Amino acid sequence: MFKKITRVVWILSVVSLFTDVASEMLYPVMPIYLKSIGFSILVIGLLEGLAEATAGLSKGYFGKLSDATGKRLPFVQIGYILSAIAKPITAFFTHPVWIFFVRTTDRFAKGVRTGARDAILSDEATPETKGTVFGFHRAMDTIGAAIGPTLALVYLYFYPGKYITLFYIAFIPGVLAIVTTLFLKEKKKPLAPTREKVSFFSFLKYWKQSPAAYRQLLIGLLLFTLFNSSDVFLLLKAKDAGLNDTYVIGIYIFYNMVYALFAFPVGSLADKIGLKRMFIIGLGLFSMVYFGFSINTNLYIFLALFFIYGLYASATEGVSKAWISNITDKKDTATAIGTFSALQSVCTMVASSLAGIIWYSLGAKYLFIMSGVMTLVLMVYLGRMKEK
**How far is 186 from 116, CA to CA, in rounded Å?**
11
What pLDDT is attached to residue 388? 58
How close are the terminal C-alpha atoms of the chain, in Å?
A: 23
- 49: left (phi > 0), else alpha (psi -120 to 50), else beta? alpha
Residue type, position 119, single letter: A
**How far is 62 from 69, CA to CA, in rounded Å?**
10
Please report whether residue 53 resides in a domain.
yes
Q: Supply the CATH number for residue 367's domain.
A: 1.20.1250.20
Q: Among candidates 153, 72, 79, 158, which has minimal Cα distance to 119?
A: 72
Question: Which residues constitute the domain of residue 301?
Answer: 2-183+207-383
CB-count exposure of residue 157 (10 Å: 0-12, 13-18, 19+) = exposed
What φ, ψ does residue 94 adopt, rounded to 5°? -125, -15
- 350: left (phi > 0), else alpha (psi -120 to 50), else beta? alpha
Q: What is the pTM of this model?
A: 0.84
What pLDDT is attached to residue 193? 65
For 350, residues 6+ apart whose C-beta sits below 8 A from its C-beta are 226
**How far is 267 from 259, CA to CA, in rounded Å?**
11
Please report whether residue 388 resides in a domain.
no
The full 3-state SS of 304-362, as one line of letters, equals: HHHHHHHHHHHHHHHHHHHHHHHCCCHHHHHHHHHHHHHHHHHHHHHHHHHHHHHHHHC
What φ, ψ does residue 286 adopt, rounded to 5°? -60, -45
Please report whether residue 240 resides in a domain.
yes
Please report whether residue 191 resides in a domain.
no
Q: Among candidates 316, 6, 21, which has minimal Cα distance to 170?
A: 21
**How far is 266 from 270, CA to CA, in rounded Å?**
6
Q: Among candidates 284, 256, 292, 287, which has minimal Cα distance to 364?
A: 292
For 223, residues 6+ apart whose C-beta sits below 8 A from its C-beta are 374, 378, 381
142-188 per-position pLDDT tens digit:
999 889 888 888 888 888 878 788 888 989 999 999 999 999 987 76
- Per the CB < 8 A criterion, the answer to whether 4 and 134 are in contact is no
CB-count exposure of residue 161 (10 Å: 0-12, 13-18, 19+) = exposed
What pLDDT is attached to residue 232? 74
What φ, ψ does residue 186 adopt, rounded to 5°? -70, 145
Please report whether residue 198 resides in a domain.
no
DSSP assigned state of 210: S
**How far is 241 from 300, CA to CA, in rounded Å?**
12
Please report whether residue 234 resides in a domain.
yes
Q: Report, as ranges of residue numbers, the positions in the chain whose pLDDT lies below 70.
A: 1, 28, 31-32, 35, 40-50, 52, 94, 96, 188-196, 245, 387-388
Please report whether residue 47 resides in a domain.
yes
What pLDDT is attached to residue 358? 86
Please report whether residue 190 resides in a domain.
no
What pLDDT is attached to residue 258? 94
Report the number of distinct structural domains present in the chain.
1
DSSP assigned state of 190: P
**How far is 170 from 322, CA to CA, in rounded Å?**
30
Q: Among candidates 370, 137, 383, 133, which has minimal Cα distance to 278?
A: 383
CA distances from 324 to 173, 221, 334 (A): 31, 10, 10
